[in-house]
Amino acid sequence: MAKALLARYARRISMPDLSIAPTTRLTPGQIKTDVLSGLTVALALVPEAVAFAFVAGVHPLVGLYAAFMVGLITAVIGGRPGMISGATGALAVVMVALVADHGVEYLFATVVLMGILQIFAGVMHWGKFIRLVPHPVMLGFVNGLAIVIFMAQLTQFKVPGSAEVSGHGTSGGEWLSGMPLYLMLALVALTMAVIWLLPKLTKIIPAPLAGIAVTAVLVIALGLDTPRVGDLASIQGGLPAFHIPAVPLTWETLEIILPYAVILAAIGLIESLLTLNLVGEMTGQRGGASQECIAQGAANTVTGFFGGMGGCAMIGQSMINVNSGGRTRIAGIAAALFLLSFILFASPLIELIPLAALVGVMFMVVIGTFAWNSLRILFRVPLIDAFVIVLVTVVTVYEDLAVAVVVGVIVSALAYAWNNARRIHARSYTTPEGAKVYQVQGPLFFGSAEGFAEIFNVAEDPQTVIVDFADSRVVDQSALQAIEAMAAKYEAAGKRLQLRHLSRDCHRLLSKAGHLMVDSDDDPDYALAVDYHVRTGILGGH
């Protein structure tokens, strides 16, 4: 019954079915699709990079250079084709205090150190620990990030120049009203309609790119007065130049930048690895977590030396790429190169694009990213899973992604430990020889140690007691201590205790205590805290 429920639960909360074959053939058609997908992503990257630069308190080109360099390097050597990386709000909100207190040069030094820490994490294969993130946490992450992306777009409905842009919503400023607001909403709706309808007619060009093009042509041709990319800031600039951060190489500098670097590295890796898993589910492509850690680290290290603010995987732009058909590394490389060309050559043209078109694209990303099935299964899954989904969603929106994931994992782990702590029990019977046998069932670990002690009745048990661990698992030091404490009680009562089907590690550790009698023919071939084969027979050397 439980397995059937879990199977139904897994099917209901699965991500949208956009899977393709595990490997994508590099055909002329796929190359064209990847290049056009890259162009679409590059257009969507411009306002995001500028906005997050404002959040961090740096020049817009610092954000654009980061989007170009981080996007290019991770596209070339990253863990999974199809992912898009660049400057993100999750990192920008951490950088604010550093830039305000110490200046942008300290930010560049921090980004370099952040990259080195991420490379170290990849070399140590720490990326594999992302598998400890439960599926309900993943659902909360996706839903929370969809809400954050939606809230970030609301800043575009303010009078240009009247408000700071925030990665988690809006702050201050004057909202559009009257005819400008109605026009903005109409253009957003037009973009979304084109994105929704075009795939039903043709797939020659990516729907998001067509939506941007249709809306932009309409606005420019009719001379409509609506906010445009150029109203945020000028994106014109030159090639990023190599620049060693101008900070003193002292212990004091390290004390300033190290805490920020650790936090940024952790947030960047968590967001990147979760996006890695999400893109993998949608495209059916395999990728390496450790490789992605190294790629993110290399990208940030280089970016810090070229005047960029650093970055990580961007779920919104990754979804645009995937939904546009981008499947190979060409898409990410094209996005980065298009972005650089915008900075060098095409800034006057790009600055004419209406913000409504890009908002419409991101709204469609929100609709496609949010796991709508999770709303239907909230009352059908275990209560703790439903709670974790909602909790991670809320914390992602009101705090940040890293905190939300850590909180979700901790709550899930505590719930798992509590459920397993209640599973410890034993069946008992008396042998013809008068010995009492306890057949322990359930894992023995720190959470169930107290319940394990309550199983035994030292005062009323016979002179010989046998504890069989064939259906149990001794997990940690707390479990060993519980066994030793129980053995000491029987020894103090003058009774003989035998333990059966313990691992070799348990034999060795408990024998040092000098309390235990273990049958010499009990020679298990399994190790501590791993799967084992249940041995038949309890007495008589079986």
Task: Return the H-helix or E-strand segment holding 200.
Answer: helix 178-201
Residue 486: which domain range?
Answer: 422-511
Between 88-97, 269-278, 518-527, the lowest mean confidence (pLDDT) is in 518-527
- Residue at 10 is within a domain: no
**Banded pLDDT at 500 (limits 50, 70, 90):** confident
- Cα dihedral 515, 521, 526, 528, rounded to 10, equals 0
Do 405 and 441 fall into the same domain? Answer: no
Out of 18-27, 227-236, 260-269, 504-513, pick the least confident: 18-27
Do 486 and 393 lie in a common domain? no
Flag whether pLDDT at 489 surpasses 80: yes
Same domain, 457 and 389: no
Token code pair at residue 154: 């609301």
The residue count for the chain: 542
Q: How far is CA 434 from CA 4, 54, 241, 457, in A?
A: 43, 79, 85, 16
In a domain, 76, yes or no: yes
User: Of 391, 411, 431, which one is at a domain's C-terminal end?
Assistant: 411
Find the mean pLDDT for residues 371-389.
Answer: 89
Query: Are the CB atoms for 104 and 247 separated by under 8 Å?
Result: no
pTM of the model: 0.74
The count of domains in the chain is 2
Q: Which of 389, 411, 433 is the last residue of a domain?
A: 411
Q: Which long-range contacts (CB under 8 A, 24 or more apart) does 375-380 make?
A: 376/12, 377/9, 377/12, 377/13, 380/8, 380/9, 380/12
- Whether residue 224 is predicted with pLDDT greater than 90 in this model: the reply is yes
Indicate if 90 and 42 belong to the same structural domain. Answer: yes
Of the three residues 411, 437, 452, the one that is the final residue of a domain is: 411
CATH number at residue 462: 3.30.750.24
**Residue at 532 is within a domain:** no
- pLDDT for the residue numbered 67: 95
Q: How far apart are CA 517 and CA 497, in angstroms?
A: 6
Residue with tokens 């989904």: 389
Q: Are residues 93 and 39 in the same domain?
A: yes
pLDDT band at 6 (very low <50, low <70, confident <90, very high): very low
Mean pLDDT across 77-90: 88
Q: Which CA distances in Å does 348 have to 37, 131, 229, 237, 278?
A: 22, 45, 10, 11, 36
User: Does residue 465 fall inside a structural domain?
Assistant: yes
Q: What is the CA radius of gyration of the chain?
A: 29
What is the distance between the alpha carbons of residues 104 and 164, in angstroms, rounded to a whole number? 18
Say which amino acid occupies 528. L
Q: What is the mean pLDDT of residues 89-94?
A: 83
In a domain, 497, yes or no: yes
* Cβ pair 54, 165 in contact under 8 A: yes
Residue 521 has pLDDT above 60, yes or no: no
Query: Bridge-partner residues for 471, per DSSP?
Result: 441
376 and 318, same structural domain?
A: yes
pLDDT (0 to 100) of residue 421: 83
Q: Kindly state whether residues 372 and 445 are assigned to the same domain.
A: no
Q: Which amino acid is at 375?
A: L
Average pLDDT over residues 407-421: 89
DSSP letter at 370? S
Q: What is the pLDDT of residue 38?
A: 94
Do residues 469 and 455 lie in contact, with contact meaning Cβ atoms separated by under 8 Å?
no
Indicate whether 383 and 498 sit together in one domain: no
77 and 158 co-located in one domain: yes
Mean pLDDT of 208-213: 91
Of 257, 292, 218, 219, residue with least CA distance to 103: 257
pLDDT above 90 covers what percent of the chain? 41
The answer as to whether 43 is a domain residue is yes
**Confidence check: pLDDT of 532 > 60:** no
| For residues 9-22, average pLDDT | 39
Cβ neighbours of residue 526 closer than 8 Å, sequence gap 6 or more:
503, 532, 533
Is 4's pLDDT higher than 50?
A: no
Task: Answer yes or no: are the C-beta atoms of 110 and 254 closer than 8 Å.
Answer: no
Residue 17: pLDDT over 50:
no
Q: Are residues 475 and 392 in the same domain?
A: no
Q: What is the pLDDT of residues 269-315, one digit of tens each?
A: 988 998 888 888 777 766 688 999 999 999 999 999 999 999 999 98
Of the candidates 240, 372, 378, which has an alpha carbon nearest to the alpha carbon of residue 309? 240
Q: How large is the angle between the packed helices 315-323 and 355-369, nearest 10 degrees? A: 90
What lies within 8 Å, CB to CB, of 74 at 6+ separation is: 83, 85, 292, 295, 296, 299, 313, 332
**Start-to-end C-alpha separation, the chain:** 34
Distance CA 522, CA 515 (A): 17
Nearest in space to 133 (alpha carbons), one of 389, 319, 367 = 389
Q: Do 399 and 451 fall into the same domain?
A: no
Mean of pLDDT over the chain? 83
Q: 39 vs 124, 128, 323, 359, CA distance in Å?
A: 35, 32, 13, 16
Structural domain includes residue 113: yes
Q: Count the alpha carbons within 13 Å of 334 in the hemisphere toward its beta carbon.
A: 22
The answer to whether the beta carbons of residues 141 and 316 sit under 8 Å apart is no
- 221 and 304 inside one domain: yes
Q: Say if 537 falls within a structural domain.
A: no
Judged against a pLDDT cut of 90, whether residue 167 lies above it is answered with no
Distance from C-alpha of 393 to C-alpha of 10, rounded to nearest angstrom: 19
